[in-house]
Structure 1
Amino acid sequence: MTVQFTALLRRLRREAGLTQEHLAERTGLAVRTIGRLESGASANPQLDTVRLLADGLGLEPDVRATFLTVAGGQEPVEPEEPDGPAGPVEVVERRPESALERLLADAADDLAHAVHARLKKEEELRRIHDPFPLPVRWQPAPDGVMDQWANIRRVPHGEAAPLDLAGRLPEIVEIYRRIPSGRLVVLGRAGSGKSVLAARFVLDLLRTRGRCDAVPVALGIASWNPTTTTFRDWLVGQLLRDHPGLAARGPNRSNLATALVDADRILPVLDGFDELAVGQHRRALDALNTTDLPLLLTSRPGEYRDVASVDALTAAAAIRLTDLVVADLVDYLPRTTRRGAGGTVWDPVLAQLRDHPERPASTNLRTVLTTPLMVGLARAVYSDATGPDPAELLDTTRFGSQHEIEDHLLSRFIPTVYLDQRSRWDAGRARAWLGYLARHLDRLGTHDLAWWRLGVTMRRRTRMTVVGLVCGLAVGLSTGAMTWLVEALNGGSGLAALLTTGGYWLGFGLATGLAHGVGITLGSGAFEPSRVQLRASGGSRHLRARFGPRALIGLGGGVGLGLVLGLVGAAGIPPMGLPGAGFLGGLAAGTALGTLAGLGWGLLAGLETTVDLTSAVGPADTLRTNRLVVVVEFLGLGLVLGLAHLLMTTLTLGYLFPTGLVLDLVLGPVIGLAIGIGMTAWGQWLIFARIWLPLTGRLPWSVAAFLDDACRRGVLRQVGAVYQFRHARLQAHLANTA
């Protein structure tokens, strides 16, 4: 919490004529909480707490926006001083916010807070400011890749002069605001700093954002398929993936993500236009031209030029990033390593580049070190005082071309960052695992590494077999072990019971595998993680929306189960411990079990509530949330199944069988959890990422810890709810060489 916030809270409370006790009564907060906030003794307040304070203080919209901005650790926007003498002040009566405007403004503020927190963390992990950012500069792009200046400046034809768009990284927001259309294309070759510029643009724009302004959101556009999905639908889907809290109910029965997009409260910052699938660039540009949304788009020059030469992005100005020069390297690289008595390890190399630029070795290395990506790799490999000497990069016998130097830097990056002796990951094995992940993404045609999609590149039959085997073994062995224990305690043949019952329930694995195959077909290859969390209250809306559908699913599944049990009963085999059931008895038993399971699952929706938008949302957060939802809901579902089966056997036999009581209460939840594992995103992660892929050597046993560690080492980065490799060049290199 900033000192500015504590002082602002005290001042606003006193201006409102309120004591801490009166403000506590208005907000429902404790007096002690308000006192700690005003003294600075409390940690950063949650956004909900800040909003309650703003409501209790009765702040006007502009003051409220400043209050929320300062609470988020940002500097408030100071009003610009007018030029010349002040004229008469026009008093404008402010129209109060409507309920809809308030809802969207609050959602936009929450989203802005979450985006700002994520990008600041990502900058720290990528060491952008250590010791200072590499210079990123640009010049206006050629007119051949831009629309007419009249369209860009929104003026009549013939009255538009070109804008001065040259600048450097700290000026990106200032340059963008010179463009009346609000549309800017950033062109640069691989590794030139386009993603860094996009992130800095979002952070700087958020720092000066007003309450009614659109929220800039950085998104990787490579996952968009313009042939099958409209741009707005894709944009909504990306927002829901990275910020599940936007799935909350908005106006007109839509979700908040859709409402924000429809109200033009989102400013898309689209990174990686060049990474769209082959043949999709023209379609994507045509789709973007059907909208007038302000946006920022990054691309390599070639891919964009090929389509812009026919028809550029409507009303969009364009800039092109320029190369780093030797002076930039001289200013940067020596400051990334220790200085000894004779200077730094970089001094002799930089002296060669500066003093003998005509030599082939200098030409090759200077050409390589013109992009922030390659400079960052060179720093990682050579700036450690105990590492290799960067002078080897000038060895033309070893590196005869710039491409050989680039391949060397890419290949040395992973061994270097995993050189830490305290690391739990061996560099060679880490490279092999990262290579598998890179090939996995290549097969999917994406840069987004989603935890719920690990394993989806396996053949369908293999996936069904693995799911059926894992679930069947879990249920069969659990059932057999329990039956053996009960029979052994009663003096019966425990081994026979183990074999008979265990083998009988292994058929459950076949059913689960087939159901998983149906889910793959209907879900396009992967089960999506749920966007809810469990709470003791607040889930009434989810209960109303989901009780009916879940009950119908249970009824449908129960009828299918009843048909199977009916056929088994007609053959004279007691289905599920129901002697003499026959076809009708088995049908009734299965239908009843399914219906009760659906009712129980439907009632559990009362514990579901939308994920809090202000909480941190990353891969680990979504994984933990989905694990809790699956475990609690499907354990409860299994308990309902167990109790229903116990009731049916008791009615059939005419008495309560104690052994059946134990089996149903213990094994029912096991069966329910096995169903959840086979049919949910977390279950797919558990089976493939935590069991099968580590068992076959393609991933480590602690996958989540490995991915998180790779982020800290700068190999991966977090982008909302997914991971990405630090750069597409690194992903391609690992996919081809690991």
Structure 2
Amino acid sequence: MLEVVGKRPTSGQRHPKTSQRRSVSLDSVAELYLRETCGKVLLSGEAGMGKTVLSLKLLADIAHRRKTDPALLYGGTVQPVPVIFNLPTWPSQLELQDWLAGNLAERFRLKQTVAARLVSDGYVLPILDSLDEVDSEARPSDKTATIVAAVNRYSATRVGARLILTCRSDSTIYHRVRKQIRGFDELRVHPLRYIDVRDYLESQCGEDNASEWKIVLDAAADSTSPVRGVLGTPWRLAMSATYLRGGGSAEDFLPTRDERRSRKAMTIPAAYLNRVEGLLYETFISARSRHHGKQPIRVTLHLMQIAKLLEEGKRRSVAAPTELLLHEWWRLLDRRKVSLYQALLVFTLINLSFSAFRFFEFSENDKPESPVIYALAFFSNFILLALLAGRAAGVRTSPLRVSLRSLRTSRGGVLVAASAAIAVLAGGTAYISTGPSYGISIGAAIALTGTIGATLAPWDHLTVESPLAILRKDFLASALFGVAIGGFVGIYTTELLGKPVGVALGLGYVFAAIASSIMAKYLIAVYISAGVGAPWRLARFLSWGCRAGLLRVSGVGYQFRHKGLQQYLLDLQRSTFPDGTDAR
């Protein structure tokens, strides 16, 4: 149920406009927003009241109206398309329009210029979700105020701008910044009515265990009962139905004498809420795990560790607090440990490549004339390869991809032209001094290496189909470049030091390129995190979690299905392992 609280003041007003408080049904929220608000709305409510779900309902209704009546105008412009944006992922140093355009381009695989035009021309209705989660209430910063100021600038510089903010009304952040939000109407989400709770439980639980859920209903009939508060939110009501259908006891919903006490009036006692939510989340995870063929205990341990790593990444400001990116999984761990393991992997693979010696025998032409000079040349190449690979592994922090369109850019054209010139010069010199086959091979290898190098580009959201696709494209780009440069080095050193050395060095460069890729960082991070309780097959587990309804895909990352679920897992991890140990 919604309540129209009133209008926020604009920058030229001393006092807010007020409107009569009245209740609004869920089905008419789109009509209310489109006809009776200024287009800028603060959607508030307590935790779990369904603000995000209401945003999705508003999104669907507005999108439906736009489809059925596309000629509907607002201030001379076509009705915009509503899109939900997760505010905690907004870098506060960016202006709102720049972040919206970048986020829109990444999620919907649009060109940056197209996304920027859609935002600037008002074709997008931004629904900015979770303002209360931008900062930690325990460790507040200025980020929320900075973002609110950016929102005010955005709305003040656009005539008829439409914007929706969601924020928990029971958070300290809401009370700290609500007066700073200028020119916004406020719609507040209130708990479900008793009749709504009754109808839902009757439809979901049926008559088989009517005696159980009717006990809960009797307790919820009192508007001051904590049971009414728990069942008054859509998310907890849905989990309560799951709990009762699964054989849970209705007595668990009844508060004890100590749990009836609350420091604040009209609030659910914290002890009671924590106990009941713990039961509901435990049942929810167990039911979803068993339904999809997994062990609930193991799933819970994996989710606990993921929640812990996300929280640690947020604390170190290396990751969004609610989003898990596979290609940045390594950032959530000890970066020095990841770098050390990657250096060891590079060194191991390089040594593995030199085991090719045993598969080859020196021919009469390959035998070195001077063992000393041969040893110096051999080990200098080995050390150079190790240093280059180790340096590349430490420097690379962003995935690459192969893009033929890069050849059309000025950078690509310069690289191709330069490699062609070097190929002609070096190939011609080798042709004259050594022979035609060697000269042609050297020239072709240089040209191919330069061309492949010109096609390498940073990962682009336009080419990404799934979160794992970024890693796959990075592996392909790294392996392809490694094959190219390894082929060149192999051909070059074969003539100078013999076929065994040429093959060993060529394979060494191939392995080194693969070992220094972001895919290698990800696999190393999975190995390290599995040792502290995270799943061994992280990508497969996350994909399963989405199918099971525990997680969801957001752009190129994964998120917990509900923020309360993530917080429950984090609290459970802390209480289960209070000494800081991990869920192994």
Q: TM-score range by the shorter chain?
A: 0.7 to 0.9
Q: Does 1:468 align with 2:304?
A: no
Q: Match for 1:182: what amino acid?
A: G
Give the match for residue 231 of structure 1. 96
Q: Is the 8 A contact 1:449 1:722 kept in 2?
A: yes
Q: Does 1:392 align with 2:252?
A: yes
**Structure 1: tracts of 5 or more residues without a match:** 1-136, 152-156, 249-253, 491-500, 521-526, 556-590
Give the match for residue 374 of structure 1. 236
SS of corresponding position for 2:82: strand
The whole-number CA distance in structure 2 between the counterparts of 1:503 and 1:379 is 70
The whole-number CA distance in structure 1 between the counterparts of 2:39 and 2:529 is 46
SS of corresponding position for 2:360: helix
Residue 170 of structure 1, aligned match among 27, 52, 59: 27
Deviation at 1:274, TM superposition (A): 1.0
Residue 326 of structure 1, aligned match among 152, 176, 194: 194
> Residues 711, 405 of structure 1: CA spacing in aligned structure 2 closer, same or farther, 3 A cutoff?
farther
SS of corresponding position for 1:236: helix
Deviation at 1:188, TM superposition (A): 0.7
Deviation at 1:426, TM superposition (A): 2.8
Q: Bigger CA drift: 479-488 or 705-714?
A: 479-488
> Residues 475, 199 of structure 1: CA spacing in aligned structure 2 closer, same or farther, 3 A cutoff?
farther
Residue 611 of structure 1, aligned match among 459, 462, 486: 462
Q: Match for 2:149: what amino acid?
A: D
Give the match for residue 210 of structure 2. 343
Give the match for residue 264 of structure 1. 122
Name which structure has the greater RCO, CA cutoff 8 Å, separation 6+.
2
The whole-number CA distance in structure 2 between the counterparts of 1:489 and 1:637 is 30
Give the match for residue 623 of structure 1. 468
The whole-number CA distance in structure 1 between the counterparts of 2:380 and 2:103 is 45
The whole-number CA distance in structure 2 between the counterparts of 1:599 and 1:216 is 45
Superposition TM-score, scaled by structure 1 size = 0.60
Superposition TM-score, scaled by structure 2 size = 0.75
Deviation at 1:595, TM superposition (A): 7.1
In the TM superposition, what are the counterparts of 1:424-503 in structure 2 within 5 Å? 425-445=294-314, 446-477=321-352, 479-486=353-360
Deviation at 1:728, TM superposition (A): 2.5
Deviations 1:631-671 (A, max 9, x none): 33222212221221133224536xxx454565466555333
The whole-number CA distance in structure 2 between the counterparts of 1:150 and 1:709 is 52
Give the match for residue 275 of structure 2. 408
SS of corresponding position for 2:165: strand
The whole-number CA distance in structure 1 between the counterparts of 2:22 and 2:414 is 55
Deviation at 1:138, TM superposition (A): 0.8
Q: Is the 8 A contact 2:43 2:166 kept in 1?
A: yes
Q: Match for 1:643: what amino acid?
A: G
In the TM superposition, what are the counterparts of 1:184-583 in structure 2 within 5 Å? 184-209=41-66, 210=70, 212-226=78-92, 228-243=93-108, 245-246=109-110, 248=111, 255-277=113-135, 278=140, 279-292=142-155, 293-301=161-169, 302=171, 303-309=173-179, 311-313=180-182, 315-340=183-208, 343=210, 345-354=212-221, 357=222, 363-384=225-246, 387-394=247-254, 396=256, 402-412=269-279, 413-414=281-282, 416-419=284-287, 420-421=289-290, 425-445=294-314, 446-477=321-352, 479-486=353-360, 511-520=388-397, 527=398, 529=399, 539-540=404-405, 543-544=408-409, 546-547=411-412
Deviations 1:509-534 (A, max 9, x none): 665444444345xxxxxx3x56x676
Deviation at 1:173, TM superposition (A): 1.8
Deviation at 1:202, TM superposition (A): 1.6
Q: Is the 8 A contact 1:543 1:605 kept in 2?
A: no
In the TM superposition, what are the counterparts of 1:727-738 in structure 2 within 5 Å? 727-738=562-573
Deviation at 1:140, TM superposition (A): 1.2
Q: Match for 2:409: what amino acid?
A: R
Deviations 1:707-735 (A, max 9, x none): 12222333222222222223323222222
> Residues 172, 433 of structure 1: CA spacing in aligned structure 2 closer, same or farther, 3 A cutoff?
same
Deviations 1:338-390 (A, max 9, x none): 432x6363122213433xx38xxx82222222222322332333322xx2222
> Residues 631, 161 of structure 1: CA spacing in aligned structure 2 closer, same or farther, 3 A cutoff?
closer
> Residues 229, 150 of structure 1: CA spacing in aligned structure 2 closer, same or farther, 3 A cutoff?
closer
Q: Is the 8 A contact 1:472 1:510 kept in 2?
A: no
Give the match for residue 50 of structure 1. none
Give the match for residue 91 of structure 1. none
Give the match for residue 141 of structure 1. 5
The whole-number CA distance in structure 2 between the counterparts of 1:597 and 1:409 is 64
Residue 38 of structure 2, aligned match among 154, 167, 181: 181
Q: Is the 8 A contact 2:342 2:520 kept in 1?
A: no
SS of corresponding position for 1:454: helix
Deviation at 1:330, TM superposition (A): 0.9
SS of corresponding position for 1:700: coil
Deviation at 1:255, TM superposition (A): 2.9
The whole-number CA distance in structure 1 between the counterparts of 2:301 and 2:380 is 38
The whole-number CA distance in structure 1 between the counterparts of 2:18 and 2:226 is 40
The whole-number CA distance in structure 2 between the counterparts of 1:300 and 1:215 is 24
Deviation at 1:294, TM superposition (A): 1.5
Residue 639 of structure 1, aligned match among 480, 483, 486: 483
Q: Match for 1:349: what amino acid?
A: V
The whole-number CA distance in structure 1 between the counterparts of 2:508 and 2:274 is 56
Residue 553 of structure 2, aligned match among 718, 721, 736: 718
Deviation at 1:299, TM superposition (A): 0.5
Q: Match for 2:451: what amino acid?
A: G
Give the match for residue 32 of structure 1. none
Residue 649 of structure 1, aligned match among 485, 493, 510: 493
